[in-house]
Amino acid sequence: MPPRLEWTDDLSVGVEVLDHHHQQIVELINRVSRTMFTGAEADMVTVVLHDLRDYATFHFREEEAHLEAQGYSDLESHRRLHRHMAGQIDEIIAMHDGGPRKVVASELHEFLSNWLVRHIRNADHAYAPLFAPPVQGAYNGT
């Protein structure tokens, strides 16, 4: 059984609802691994992969709406990253549908763990300062 992916506080982007989404995605990745590893029916794995795809799509849309509301200057490139990530899940689904043995549970777990964690640490943490509370006592220009 691949080690569970764990959400840790250092992954926080400082927005509770988005952290919650990321935690749900962590759980879905663990569910994909568990389902594959326990040798569940190929159909079951397809269902869980689609759950991951659907939830990630929902989350990407919500996150983009938050960024748009804040006038985030890098929104377009962030959108592109999300589209790319959704496409990667589509590829995994297509690969899996082409024959479950083509996808190895431990390799997929590692791929998806990096897929999420790298995105959070790089792209998501880049927008986090937008939502950070102002520093107390900092010069505010007035």
Kindly list the residues in this chain that would bind Fe ion in the complex (CB under 5 A): 63, 124
Minimum distance from residue 81 beta carbon to Fe ion (Å): 7
- Residue 4 vs 121, nearer CB to Fe ion: 121
Pair of tokens at residue 104: 């190895």
- Residue 111 vs 115, nearer CB to Fe ion: 115
3 state SS of 5: coil
- Residue 42 vs 126, nearer CB to Fe ion: 126
Residue in this structure with the two tokens 């939502």, named with its chain if needed:
131
DSSP string covering 27-38: HHHHHHHHHHHT
- Residue 103 vs 124, nearer CB to Fe ion: 124
3 state SS of 7: coil
Minimum distance from residue 69 beta carbon to Fe ion (Å): 15
CA distance 97 to 91: 10
Minimum distance from residue 105 beta carbon to Fe ion (Å): 26
CB closest to Fe ion, residue no: 124
For residues 114, 74, 60, 86, the Cα torsion angle rounded to the nearest 10 degrees is -60
Minimum distance from residue 82 beta carbon to Fe ion (Å): 6
